[in-house]
Chains A and B, each alone.
Chain A
Amino acid sequence: MSTRVFMLMQLRTALYVFQEAFRSLRRNGWLNFAAAGTTAVSLFVLGIAVLLVVNTNYISKTVESNVEIMVYLDRGLEQDDMKAIRTQIETTPGVKEVRFISKEEALATLAKRFGKESKLNESLGGTNPLPDAFRIRMSEPRQVASAAASISRLPGVEKVRYGQGVVEKMFKLTAWIRLISMAVMGLLGVCSVFLIATTIRLTMFARRREISIMKWVGATDWFVRWPFLLEGIILGAAGALVAVAVLGFSYNALTAKLQEVLAFLPVVRDYRVLIQLFEGLFAAGIGLGLVGSFISVHRYLRV
């Protein structure tokens, strides 16, 4: 067979595949509707779970990154001593940013917090009992305990504070939230795969006769498979499109409202992250349709 004839046949087959896929989409209307609908609902629920995970992660991270260490220094240190301590702190692993807070600055902040009428300065008798301090932000909030421990051992450091106890509890809580939301997402993912596989199997069952007739007249496996795969891709993509659209609009509306009411609660509204997520869901829809029809058609090819 010459190459040209072969290519012509390939072209014909491709044409046939598209014709058959669209014919079957037309003719098996309600079943396809069910399959696409199932995909849409599954991906929608899955999308909610993913958004939940993304947001809990984001909230946890925001809360965690607010953790800071206060380092109070001994009184009467020389400038050089302080510089040395600063360098030491800056080289401690996990430290992102160190800020010096002089005792004057600390007193001013304190006075502001007490209010103008408090006469803090008068009651202290013009002296400043506060120590000089460093405020440390961490790049790795989880290393806060070990960093604090090593800093407290430095000479010239009087005391280290980072909300001991509370921070550990908070980390435990965020870890649990992450774990649970991941588990929920995984479970929903498995559920949607089963749901979609069942629906596609139903579609196939309705068409097993067609498949077996094709095999009897001498169709190759791939010839039988292609239209079904294309159909699966189209149905998966359609379902995913609906899911993404509904999810996108409702998430946008919900988070906008949430930011009005609970302004302190950090939610992910970075559209790049969201677009990436929606692309993922779309790809998942296509993948589910493809894999679902591949598995389902496989059962009826054994003729």
Chain B
Amino acid sequence: MIQFFNVSKFYPNGVKALVGATIHIEKGEFVFLVGPSGAGKSTLIKLIFREELPTKGQIYIGGRSIIRMKRREVPCLRRQIGMVFQDFRLLPDRTVFENVAFAMQVVGAGPQEIKRRVPEVLELVGLKERAQMYPRQLSGGEQQRVAIARALVNKPTLLIADEPTGNLDMDTSWEIINYFQEINRRGTTVLIATHAREIVDTLRQRVIALDRGRIVRDEHQGVYAHAT
């Protein structure tokens, strides 16, 4: 699903955000990306999403090189990927329904399709009754669930979350993580960058640890950090 071959990213200001990273993530995997702030997690996600191009190395998503990809092919790549952010990134002037429907309009879906599909995903994240509310009327956890619904509505093969629980309390975080697990069980590859040590240590999923731009650990059934 995701293949990084010796990928490096140096920014013009001299920061070495990622150094010689080689990663293979199979279809259907559930992966945590951990490491201190500035370790390169966000850069790695931006590279997958082709928001940035690497300085060196080769990246394949779903068997296609995204380095050689043309600019106009990028939207096609992104439609296969659902994104969830720490700060939710919902449009404040649209209802829950409209926020989710927005992602479908963007890919050219018709009104009947939207009317059928949006309630379906909202039900999946337990927000069917909140459809006509605006983001500011919802709690943080609910807003993040709207963001997840939006990420899922186009049936992506890969779901990426950048610190999805960073703004949420522990109980709500668990709730959100449970949704990700459910989504993963339905066959979607899930990649979560996180600081939530307790969650990572409890779930014992695959863990890729970054530190100062280098991959320092990649283990199945891993933990957040080894006691030193």
Chain A interfacial positions (CB closer than 8 Å to B): 8-9, 12-13, 16, 27, 209-210, 212-221, 223, 303
Bound: A9/B51 CA distance, A: 27
Bound: A209/B99 CA distance, A: 13
Which chain A residues border B83 with CB–CB below 8 Å?
216-217
Bound: A13/B107 CA distance, A: 9
Bound: A65/B84 CA distance, A: 75
Which of B15-23, B71-79, B171-179, B183-191 makes up part of the contact surface?
A: B71-79
Chain B interfacial positions (CB closer than 8 Å to A): 49, 51, 72, 75-79, 83, 89, 91, 93, 102-103, 105-108, 110-111, 150, 154
Is the Cβ of B110 less than 8 Å from the Cβ of A210?
no
Q: Contact check: which of A8, A27, A218 meets B107 at CB < 8 Å? A: A218
Bound: A303/B75 CA distance, A: 11
Q: Given A220-B75, A303-B51, A8 and B110 touching (CB < 8 A)? A: yes
Closest A residue by C-beta to B106: A219
Is the Cβ of B91 less than 8 Å from the Cβ of A219?
no
Please classify the interface of chain B as helix (H, G, I), strand (E, B), loop, or mixed, using the class held by over half of its residues: helix
Given contacts A218-B75, A218-B107, A218-B154, 4 further A-B contacts (CB under 8 A): A8-B110, A215-B75, A218-B76, A220-B75
Bound: A221/B77 CA distance, A: 14
Bound: A220/B105 CA distance, A: 12
Closest B residue by C-beta to A10: B108
Is the Cβ of B108 less than 8 Å from the Cβ of A217?
no
Is the Cβ of B106 less than 8 Å from the Cβ of A214?
yes
A-B contact count (CB 8 A): 50
Closest B residue by C-beta to A26: B93
Q: Given A27-B93, A210-B91, A303-B51, A216 and B108 touching (CB < 8 A)? A: no
Is the Cβ of A217 less than 8 Å from the Cβ of B154?
yes
Is the Cβ of A16 less than 8 Å from the Cβ of B110?
no
Contacts A/B (CB < 8 Å), 25 sampled: A8-B110, A9-B108, A12-B108, A12-B110, A13-B108, A16-B105, A210-B91, A213-B91, A215-B78, A216-B83, A216-B89, A217-B78, A217-B79, A217-B103, A217-B107, A217-B150, A218-B76, A218-B77, A218-B103, A219-B107, A220-B72, A220-B75, A221-B72, A223-B75, A223-B106
A106 to chain B, nearest CB (A): 82
A127 to chain B, nearest CB (A): 95
Which chain B residues border A210 with CB–CB below 8 Å?
91
Which chain B residues border A213 with CB–CB below 8 Å?
89, 91, 102
B174 to chain A, nearest CB (A): 26
Closest B residue by C-beta to A303: B51
Which chain B residues border A303 with CB–CB below 8 Å?
51
Which chain B residues border A221 with CB–CB below 8 Å?
72
Is the Cβ of B75 less than 8 Å from the Cβ of A219?
yes
B172 to chain A, nearest CB (A): 22
Which chain B residues border A217 with CB–CB below 8 Å?
78-79, 83, 102-103, 106-107, 150, 154
Bound: A220/B103 CA distance, A: 12
Closest A residue by C-beta to B156: A218
Bound: A209/B79 CA distance, A: 18
Which chain B residues border A209 with CB–CB below 8 Å?
89, 91
A288 to chain B, nearest CB (A): 27
Which chain B residues border A219 with CB–CB below 8 Å?
75, 106-107
Which chain B residues border A215 with CB–CB below 8 Å?
75, 78
Bound: A303/B72 CA distance, A: 13
Bound: A16/B154 CA distance, A: 18
